[in-house]
Structure 1
């Protein structure tokens, strides 16, 4: 992708050109066409990124609000979702067609397409590493690794779980991730098993602290994105992060055959959201996506959050409202429900009841799926269905 010349003063500088960062550029340019927007990223695009690759249609809905339509029209959908608890006798394997099918798009494809949409609208992309972020009365200065200073009215930190922008703000302004709210996942690409073709498969375990699960998501080209993720709790007796090899073993134990021919094996941490709204802005610096710990605590999904928070950050940066307020109105209620859902899946009894209720009522199934994929809540239908399942049990 062609890079453009660099100016020294910008309306907005976005650190990180993934979905959150490129969405921020799109939000800003939709708010004020012709604004001077600079995207900084340390990688050349297209590039791989460790992820489950699931893209909920809700993320595409958000992009449509800033004029990006048809982004994935040429990509196949994975219309069905299968959820099970391996090793739990009497608990049904639930499989249904999703009310709004999701797609499984490798990040090398998805991120490049959203970035291209941003640069087509006038954002400037530059490959660079960020060393520091400084605020003063005149705005924000971004110090690059070579010592160059780039100034902006507002900076959006969308540089992921290891955010340099977040680090530069300091622990006093942005507290570190709360203990017990970080997950680790391993991801690979492997030939899709015939029984998994067209189906997004989630397999919970009975012998690993949840939230944790194995997955197989068909990409649509004969491969599947496969992986296993679990919580990392510093209070555990081992006190060690699970190795990549062990995570792959857990994947194979829960979904036999999925690791055969696996390639592009990589691991990545996930800073999970909690039921409380986090620190999303400090002065003229806004945080979006993983840098703001916006990751679903049940499923580890983050694309919808990244796109939503990015668009809102970009709008706010160009005078379109207060970022914390807009993001809070969009997500806080949902985050509280996902926090409760994460507690729910730790209980065998409650998780089993949720699956039995989903097997009996497709409406419950759709609501449960929405909690994990996008902006859903524990609806009255879900709670009632689980209550009936518990009584029947």
Structure 2
């Protein structure tokens, strides 16, 4: 990047270029320019931040920075819960899952033999991240965001207390930076926040396989296993003849059970054993880490925000993270352009706690109980077979922002305290 490269275009220029279909997908940021918002990572969290910021301030200079060239693959279960689509509709994006058939049935199996397969109150979708993320990037660019292809290597907050400026990679400057750069976030390390400990870090392997042949309606499968509990395999039909398959477990359990054995060998072998009728297509198996929300760093005050996986926003019960990414990204984008840079972090922290705080506390409580007493999950699934409202609540807690009924919170908390260890 040289000093002769153009700077961030004005909102009018961006809109004109977008309408003419001539916008440069990797337009660089001039060294003399200060972006209003620089977002590191152009996945769901980053794109939601850009979309919300520009929805509130169409004239804002918003830059998305990512090392990848879109479309690109991303290891994930590809499940899009309806709650995430609610966020996207509020952001003005209504076609993120267009062309993909909804799936309104989910089958849960526990190691103790409990099983439930009930239509969900609201249908899910399964969309490969190569498609889903590229659509979100296109929507953000159409709104006026600039996409810069670069890897974030350093994030340094500078300037004065009243006028902070964040410098990225030594030459990119912004009033506010949103770190939406995933489980291995550079932004998070720059804030002095370490990675999740192994007991709050899951590792999963994802692949693609032929969808199972069935005469009934398509359904998502989650099959839990005693080995390394809590752990499970999944099979999510995409609708094009394929299914997204995978297996995940806690990093601490992988180390405890298998010692120095190669993690990839263990994950691949367990997945093949649990889904023997769905061998992964060659070359599609990829592993990834999931930092669970049972260990969330406190969002600091100031102009550097964390969203999505970078903020450890992964549901510890299900591994779901796209809804959290979209919601947290949207809240971060709003704080970035409505609060002063010095207050952006505090404003975002309060908004996140207001929207998800109670839910996150309840999922942490349930995860702690289920992880130490597997029979709790057996009982819940057996009960859900006969009580639709309980099944719906389990789905809301696992995929959305559901909470434990007030009458049950104290009882469950006491039960957790009574457990050994």
Same fold by TM-score greater than 0.5: yes
Where do residues 195-210 of structure 1 align in structure 2 (5 Å cutoff)? 195=214, 198-210=218-230
Residue 134 of structure 2 is aligned with which of 112, 116, 131? 112
Where do residues 101-250 of structure 1 align in structure 2 (5 Å cutoff)? 101-136=123-158, 137=160, 138-144=163-169, 148-170=170-192, 174-195=193-214, 198-210=218-230, 212-233=231-252, 236=256, 238-240=258-260, 243-250=263-270
Number of paired residues?
A: 374
Q: Which has the higher strand share?
A: 1
Counterpart check, 1:355 vs 2:381: yes
* 1:95 equivalent in structure 2: 117
* 1:389 equivalent in structure 2: none
**TM superposition score normalised by structure 2:** 0.84
Counterpart check, 1:42 vs 2:67: yes
Instruction: Write the deviation string for residues 192-240 of structure 1: whole angstroms up to 9, x where unpaired.
Output: 1114971110000123221x10000001100000000000118737554
Aligned in 2, Cα 1:16/1:95: closer, same or farther, shift over 3 Å? same
Instruction: Write the deviation string for residues 299-325 of structure 1: whole angstroms up to 9, x where unpaired.
Output: 111000000000000000001571000
1:262 Cα deviation after fit: 4.9
Where do residues 276-295 of structure 1 align in structure 2 (5 Å cutoff)? 278-295=297-314
Where do residues 242-391 of structure 1 align in structure 2 (5 Å cutoff)? 243-274=263-294, 278-319=297-338, 322-346=347-371, 347-379=373-405
> Does the CA-based 8 Å contact 1:233-1:239 persist in structure 2?
no
Instruction: Write the deviation string for residues 15-55 of structure 1: whole angstroms up to 9, x where unpaired.
Output: 00000001110111111112000110000000000000000
* 1:4 equivalent in structure 2: 27
Please give the alpha-carbon distance, in whole angstroms, between the structure 2 residues aligned to 1:353 and 1:6.
Answer: 56
> Does the CA-based 8 Å contact 2:299-2:305 persist in structure 1?
yes
> Does the CA-based 8 Å contact 1:38-1:124 persist in structure 2?
yes
Instruction: Write the deviation string for residues 112-151 of structure 1: whole angstroms up to 9, x where unpaired.
Output: 111111110000001011121111224333333xxx5111
> Does the CA-based 8 Å contact 1:277-1:328 persist in structure 2?
no
Please give the alpha-carbon distance, in whole angstroms, between the structure 2 residues aligned to 1:278 and 1:367.
Answer: 27
* 1:60 equivalent in structure 2: 85
* 1:390 equivalent in structure 2: none
> Does the CA-based 8 Å contact 1:272-1:294 persist in structure 2?
yes
Larger deviation, residues 265-274 vs 132-141: 132-141
Q: CA RMSD in A?
A: 2.3
1:345 Cα deviation after fit: 2.4
> Does the CA-based 8 Å contact 1:186-1:266 persist in structure 2?
yes
**TM superposition score normalised by structure 1:** 0.89
Please give the alpha-carbon distance, in whole angstroms, between the structure 2 residues aligned to 1:262 and 1:356.
Answer: 37
Q: Which has the higher helix share?
A: 2
